[in-house]
Structure 1
Amino acid sequence: MTVTGVHLDHLATAQQFAATPETWPVAPRFDPVQRWFHRLRIADDHEAWLLTWLPGQETEIHDHGGSAGAFHVYSGTLTEDTVSAGTFGTPKIISRELGEGAGRRFGSHHIHRIVNRSARPAISIHVYGPALTSMTKYRVGPAGLEVLTVERAGAQW
């Protein structure tokens, strides 16, 4: 993504939000039934989201519909399970734990799941560019990665 000829650093943008929680339009909330999220910003070339995670809450395996991005762990610990090509068509899942202050950039073809496997709540900030228009959710089945649903911005979130 470019902003007046400069490449937007999604992780730096997430870190800027993390450094200024007093500018967030809402305070983080925790919902025991489902993950809570709130969009912090929408711009021509990106959007930023605030998410909360109680222990055990997770996303499904998903992509970002062609958007690149990053996430930053504001508080707590999250685990990212990244899906990559394995041998003989079997996807390989690699887990990476990210603690408070850690972050991760990802490209436009990234497929992952984020889980709070810790015993305490977590808060994270996610930045995508361009803004999300769709997300495909997957499962790992006997034939490899299988599409479950394709969700559209404005319809499912």
Structure 2
Amino acid sequence: MRSTLVTSSPEPDLLAVAARYAADPTGWPVPLRFDPCERWYARLAVAVDHEVWALSWLPGQGTDLHDHGGSAGAFLVVDGVLTEEIVSAGRLRPQCLAAGSGRRFGTHHVHMVTNRDERPAVSVHVYRPALTRMTRYRLVDGRLRVAEVAEAGIAW
């Protein structure tokens, strides 16, 4: 009896997926825009195993401290500079990411991203699996406390 080896294709490198979309913003299915009232975002693509989002950030715009509801991901700064803050030893630790730089993150990653620069910024984010919820947190006495759980289709 002959056995058949079934192989699946490897999961894509999410940062590489972000880089492909970042390379040609003119090819995005929605035009990039900047909203002076709130951070703008749009889903660029959805596949069986991941989704891709574009975000624009005017100076001062940012996110709350949040996770990605169990999704892993990556993001790449297309233009400008973003500051990512993660919790380490009970404190927020900032890291500046300039255009062309990015990072991968796992399913339990909690962070906050802000445009602290004087210029607008643009980034591409990829999540696996697609986002269904995000939990927002407060940092109280060095510990994360749940502030809100946001559901896809309701909160964004």
- Name the TM-score, length of structure 1 as normaliser: 0.92
Equivalent position SS for 1:15: helix
Residue of structure 1 in register with 2:34 after alignment: 30
Equivalent position SS for 2:100: coil
Residue of structure 2 in register with 1:123 after alignment: 122
Q: In structure 1, how many angstroms separate the alpha carbons of the residues matched to 2:133 and 2:116?
A: 26
Residue of structure 1 in register with 2:19 after alignment: 15
Tell me by how many angstroms 1:23 deviates: 1.6
Residue of structure 2 in register with 1:5 after alignment: 9
The alignment status of 1:114 with 2:113, answered yes or no, reads: yes
Q: Which of 62, 69, 76 is the aligned partner of 1:72?
A: 76
Q: Which of 71, 81, 85 is the aligned partner of 2:85?
A: 81
Q: In structure 2, how many angstroms separate the alpha carbons of the residues matched to 1:31 and 1:140?
A: 28
Q: In structure 2, how many angstroms separate the alpha carbons of the residues matched to 1:143 and 1:100?
A: 31
Q: In structure 1, how many angstroms separate the alpha carbons of the residues matched to 2:11 and 2:29?
A: 26
Q: 1:17-65: CA deviations, max 9, x gaps? A: 0112222012211111100000001111100000000000010000000
The alignment status of 1:103 with 2:102, answered yes or no, reads: yes
Q: In structure 2, how many angstroms separate the alpha carbons of the residues matched to 1:32 and 1:20?
A: 24
Tell me by how many angstroms 1:144 deviates: 1.7
The alignment status of 1:42 with 2:46, answered yes or no, reads: yes
Residue of structure 2 in register with 1:140 after alignment: 139
Q: In structure 1, how many angstroms separate the alpha carbons of the residues matched to 2:21 and 2:57?
A: 18
Percent of aligned positions with the same letter in both sequences? 53
Q: 1:87-129: CA deviations, max 9, x gaps? A: xxxx222110000111110011000000000000000000000
Instruction: Provide structure 1 residue ranges, at least 5 long, that are not aligned to the other structure.
Output: none
Equivalent position SS for 1:97: strand
Larger radius of gyration: 2
CA spacing shift, 1:4–1:41, aligned 2, 3 Å = farther
Residue of structure 2 in register with 1:55 after alignment: 59
Equivalent position SS for 1:52: strand
Q: In structure 1, how many angstroms separate the alpha carbons of the residues matched to 2:151 and 2:87?
A: 22
Runs (4+) off by over 3 Å: none
